[in-house]
Structures are given as C-alpha cells and as structure tokens.
Amino acid sequence: MPGLIIDRLSMRFDLPNGASVQALKDVSLNLKAGELLSVLGPSGCGKTTLLNIVAGFLAPTEGQVVLNNKVVEGPGPERGMVFQQGALFEWMSVRENVGFGPSMKKMPSKEKAQIVDHLLDVVGLQDFKEKAVYELSGGMQQRVALARCLANEPDVILMDEPLGALDALTREKMQGLVLKLWKETGKTIILITHSVEEALLLGERLLVMAPRPGRIHTEYRLPFAEMGVGQDLREVKKHPKFGEIREEILGMIWNMEEEIMGRQEGA
C-alpha cells in the first residue's frame, strides 16, 4: 500500500548512569500519500524522536516504519528533512544549494537548471538566485531549505519546527507557502511545531502527543489547512471552530505540563 505506516514504535534511550528514558511507547499511525500531519505536545513527548525514526536517523527499539511497502532502515532520498535553521551550505549560492541534490545524482546540467529555476519560482526566490545564503533573511533561508528539499523529489517531507525561528509576520507568510507547496506538490508532510495555532493551520490531521512515555494522546481531523490554501490565514483563524479547538488543545497541554510539574515536585 502506498503511504507511510508507523507501526507500534517504541524508543528507549539507555543512559550511561544505568537509567533509561522511554521516549516513545507504542506509537502507530498510517498516513496516506499526500496527507499533511502536524504534531504538537509538551517538551520531551518524543516529537523529534518520532521524526528522526521516520527519517531513518534513529533505529527504534521496537516497531517499524514502512514507506511505500519498504521498511525504513536508514536515511533515504524519498524522505526529505527541513530543520528549524536551514542547515544550508553557507558558502554556496541559493542556486547551488537548491541544485545540490540533483548534482549529487549527476543530473545533466540543463535538466538541473530547469528544476532549480522552477523551484525558485515556487518559493519566490528567482531574483535571489545568485546570492550567497548568508545574505538572505531567515525567512528566505527557509524558502531555500524547502526548495532544496523538494529538489530531491522526496515522497515525504519531514519538518522539525521549520518556522520556529522566524518573526511573526514572516512565519505567517511561510505558513501560507507550506500550504501552497502541499497542495501543488501532493507531498506527504509531517510538521512538528510548538505553536498550537500553527498546528491547527498546517494539519489536516493533528496529533497531540503526551510525555512519559511519549505517546499519541489525541488525534484531530481538521478543515483549516484545506480552507487556508491561497487564503488569508487570519480569516481562517476567525472561524469559530478554530478558537474552540485551540482552547481545547491549550487546556490539554496545560494539564500535561501541570502533571509533569506535580510529578517532579513529588519526586
């Protein structure tokens, strides 16, 4: 079956002092090709661990990830990653950064130039093609990171707080861009965020995770990502359901954090 199957994942980190941390316990999830999933939860609930296992950077202690019928056994080009800070090659131009994957694949230069040009149009950076990345603002650097990821033609894009370091206005524009890319490319996307509003806007499915052990607490299926494509996201936020679910999730995460604090004080 095409798509991504996360099958009963558990991850335990054994620490040098003999203790261990159960970062994930029995996490299962099926994503169809082209679905957009956002993941929220208090610090330490295993969001990044989950993403790193799907990326193939970490091997789970139990369970498996299956993408398009193949078990994930390490990193691969069909899974692209976008980090909070672009992880770009500072000394290369925007064009060279976006063309890096195609260059590695030894793609003929004419074909590579066409792909790079197309992606720079998509992310609105055509006029900055020859600039070095250190000359760009944070928002522009994240646009380069998205274009560079897309140039590898991944089936799944994994984003770990990709907009977390941006100012509010740039972040809002980038949220619109993520929705546009999702609709135009049909990629499956998993996006981790600490912002409840962002998770509501950028998740047709939204997972709230809980800590100790890291697990899925609640899943929502939401209309806001679809509503937001090509629209003013501030209008989407005015939808009565948006405010209602935001309050519900904020309360849920607040209670989890209270519980953690209580356990720490009682320990």
Which residues are at the interface with ligand ATP (CB under 6 A)?
A: 13, 21, 23, 41, 43-49, 214
Closest CB 267 distance from ligand ATP, rounded Å: 15
Residue closer to ligand ATP by CB (options 13, 91) is 13
Least distance between ligand ATP and beta carbon 110 (Å): 42
* The two three-digit tokens of residue 223, written as one number: 């209309």
Shortest Cβ 163–ligand ATP spacing (Å): 15
For strands 79-82 and 156-160, give the pairing.
Answer: parallel
CA distance 46 to 28: 13
Residue among 46 and 60 whose Cβ is closer to ligand ATP? 46
- In the complex, least distance from residue 21 CB atom to ligand ATP, rounded to whole angstroms: 5
Radius of gyration of the chain (CA): 19
Residue number, 72 or 140, with CB nearest to ligand ATP:
72
Could you tell me the smallest distance in angstroms from the CB atom of residue 154 to ligand ATP?
21
Q: In angstroms, what is the minimal distance from the CB of 250 to ligand ATP?
A: 16
CB distance 232 to 208 below 8 Å: no
Q: In terms of CB distance, is 123 or 189 closer to ligand ATP?
A: 189
The residue (of 48 and 97) whose beta carbon lies closer to ligand ATP is 48
∠ CA 224-42-32, rounded to 5°: 45
State the residue for tokens 């074909």.
111
Q: Is the peptide bond before 213 cis (omega within 30 degrees of 0)?
A: yes
Q: Which is nearer to ligand ATP, 42 or 102 (CB)?
A: 42
Indicate the DSSP class of residue 69.
T
DSSP codes joined into one string, 184-252: HH--EEEEE-S-HHHHHHT-SEEEEEETTTTEEEEEEE-SHHHHHTTS-HHHHHTSHHHHHHHHHHHHH
